Structures are given as structure tokens and as C-alpha cells.
């Protein structure tokens, strides 16, 4: 028999009792902890990636086309089509400002209109990575093109404009699998299909990130 839930349908910060924590790896951007916690009276160990979080931008022009960049990802050995995105690994940098900076660095464009499209957790079973996707509109190209600041994977980032409806087909057909692309495209389509739906403003509170900060699970903040 299914157990019924009678409370609000909303994610809630209710951390389990932390019994012990051991850092087993420290990398360039994140670390891995083995945490011993008490969950429902059971003491268990969980491997947790402590991640700084990230932002992404679903760029939509006046022709209802989505901007995607093609980038290599070593973990998969694949080139993926992605929405412009970046880590929140600069201490005290505002997430919106980070998204605007990444858009200039990766795509060479800027948006005059910004809204919060959707928030999500990339892999909540084992990572503290929280991602916010912004909707960027009223697009203009930077006079000198993209601001190249990265290395290797970020040296060459070809861009393509894809009609939003076609992007939905590519996602549902399995041709696009990057998480910010999948979530951003489908969220933008849901928003576009409901003319009465109002998005949150660009500086909307991000309770998920604040919760992670209170738990000490943002390594660069």
C-alpha cells in the first residue's frame, strides 16, 4: 500500500543527523566526503560530492530560437550541445552576474532581459550541485565577439541557433542529453505554451543554494 503524504508538495531542508564526515578527495573545483548519517534510525554511509553549484542561460531570440554551444566533455568522451553555463566557483559572485559573464565568455552575446527559468539539482543522490537556469532575451552580439578566458575545451565553442520546437524534438528524441539543455529547453517550452505563466524575476531568492550554504556544502563560498 502506498504511503500518503498530506503536507505541502515542496522540497524542504531537513538534514539528517550527521554522525561523522571524512574528506577523501579534494580536487580543483569540488571535494568528496564520506558522511555517516542517521536516517530513519539507521546509521549509513554516503559518498557526497561537495559542489559549488552552477548557472546556465537559455538564450531565446526574437525568432524563438535557442542558442546552443558545442563543447567537449572528457567524462563522456563526447561533444555535447549545451546552453551557456558555468560554475559558481568565484567567491561572493552573484549568480546572475556569473550567468551574464559566462554568456559573454562562451557565446559572445548579451541579453537585455533576464528572468529565472528553473532551478534543479543535477544529481541529488550523491552531489550537492544546485543549478539555476536563467531565461535571457533581447539578444545582441558583443562587438568583439566572445571573451575567451578558458582553456582546452573552451577554446573553440561553435554556436548554433535552433528553433525552440525543434530543440524539444531533439531532446525527446534522445539527440540532446546535457542536463541544462534538457531542463532548460523543456522548461522554456512549458512556459511558452502557457501565455499566462509568469516567470520569477532574475534576482528571485534561491532557497536551495542558501540551504546548502547553511550546511557548509558550497566549497568555494
Count of other CB atoms within 10 angstroms of residue 80? 17
Q: Are residues 154 and 131 in the same domain?
A: yes
Answer for the pair 220, 91: CB distance below 8 angstroms, yes or no: yes
- Residues paired with residue 58 on neighbouring β-strands, in sequence order: 135
Q: Would you state the pLDDT for residue 220?
A: 62
Q: Are residues 95 and 138 in the same domain?
A: yes
Of the residues 50, 67, 95, the one at which a domain ends: 50
Q: Are residues 186 and 110 in the same domain?
A: yes
Query: Per the domain annotation, does 167 fall within a domain?
Result: yes
At 91 the three-state DSSP class reads: coil
pLDDT digits (tens, 9 = 90+) for 169-181: 999 999 999 999 9
**Domain count for the chain:** 2
Query: Per the domain annotation, does 72 fall within a domain?
Result: yes
Query: Per the domain annotation, does 4 fall within a domain?
Result: no
Query: Per the domain annotation, does 174 fall within a domain?
Result: yes
Q: Are residues 171 and 80 in the same domain?
A: yes
Q: List C-alpha distances in Å: 42 to 3, 17, 49.
A: 20, 11, 22
Query: Per the domain annotation, does 218 fall within a domain?
Result: no
Q: Are residues 42 and 142 in the same domain?
A: no
Q: Provide the domain limits for residue 151.
A: 54-196
Q: Would you state the pLDDT for residue 197?
A: 95
Q: Are residues 123 and 149 in the same domain?
A: yes
Answer for the pair 164, 192: CB distance below 8 angstroms, yes or no: yes
Q: Are residues 35 and 87 in the same domain?
A: no
Rounded CA-CA distance 4/83 in Å is: 38
Q: Are residues 40 and 134 in the same domain?
A: no
Q: Would you state the pLDDT for residue 142?
A: 93
Task: Give this prediction's pTM.
Answer: 0.94
Q: Are residues 113 and 168 in the same domain?
A: yes
Annotated catalytic, 115? no
Exposed/middle/buried for 211, CB within 10 Å: 0-12, 13-18, 19+? middle
Tens digit of pLDDT per residue, the chain (221 long)? 889 999 999 999 999 999 999 999 999 889 999 999 999 999 999 999 999 999 999 999 999 999 999 999 999 999 999 999 999 998 888 999 999 999 999 999 999 999 999 999 999 999 999 999 999 999 999 988 777 776 777 778 999 999 999 999 999 999 999 999 999 999 999 999 998 999 999 999 999 999 999 998 888 65
What is residue 4's DSSP assignment?
P
Q: 93, 105, 154, 165: which one is catalytic?
A: 154
Cell numbers found for residue 62: 526574437
Q: Are residues 28 and 66 in the same domain?
A: no
Q: Are residues 111 and 24 in the same domain?
A: no
Question: What DSSP line would sit under 70-88, residue for residue?
Answer: EEEETTTTEEEEE-SEEE-
CATH of the domain at 101: 3.90.79.10
Q: Would you state the pLDDT for residue 39?
A: 94
Amino acid at each position: 500500500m502506498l504511503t500518503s503524504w498530506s503536507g505541502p508538495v515542496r522540497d524542504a531542508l531537513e538534514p539528517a543527523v550527521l554522525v561523522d564526515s571524512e574528506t577523501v578527495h579534494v580536487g580543483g573545483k569540488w571535494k568528496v566526503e564520506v558522511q555517516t548519517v542517521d536516517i530513519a534510525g539507521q546509521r549509513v554511509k554516503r559518498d557526497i560530492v561537495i559542489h559549488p553549484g552552477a548557472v546556465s542561460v537559455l538564450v531565446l531570440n526574437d525568432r524563438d530560437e535557442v542558442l546552443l554551444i558545442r563543447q567537449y566533455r572528457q567524462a563522456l568522451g563526447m561533444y555535447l550541445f549545451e546552453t551557456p553555463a558555468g560554475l559558481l566557483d568565484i567567491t561572493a559572485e552573484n549568480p546572475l552576474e556569473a550567468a551574464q559573464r559566462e554568456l559573454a565568455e562562451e557565446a559572445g552575446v548579451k541579453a537585455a532581459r533576464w528572468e529565472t527559468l528553473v532551478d534543479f539539482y543535477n544529481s541529488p543522490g550523491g552531489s550537492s550541485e544546485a543549478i539555476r537556469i536563467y531565461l535571457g532575451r533581447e539578444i545582441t552580439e558583443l562587438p568583439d565577439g566572445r571573451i575567451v578566458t578558458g582553456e582546452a575545451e573552451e577554446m573553440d565553442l561553435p554556436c548554433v541557433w535552433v528553433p525552440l520546437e525543434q530543440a524539444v524534438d531533439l531532446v525527446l528524441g534522445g539527440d540532446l542529453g546535457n542536463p541544462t539543455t534538457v531542463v532548460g529547453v523543456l522548461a522554456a517550452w512549458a512556459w511558452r505554451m502557457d501565455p499566462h505563466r509568469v516567470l520569477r524575476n532574475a534576482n528571485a531568492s534561491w532557497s536551495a543554494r542558501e540551504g546548502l550554504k547553511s550546511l557548509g556544502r558550497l566549497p568555494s563560498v
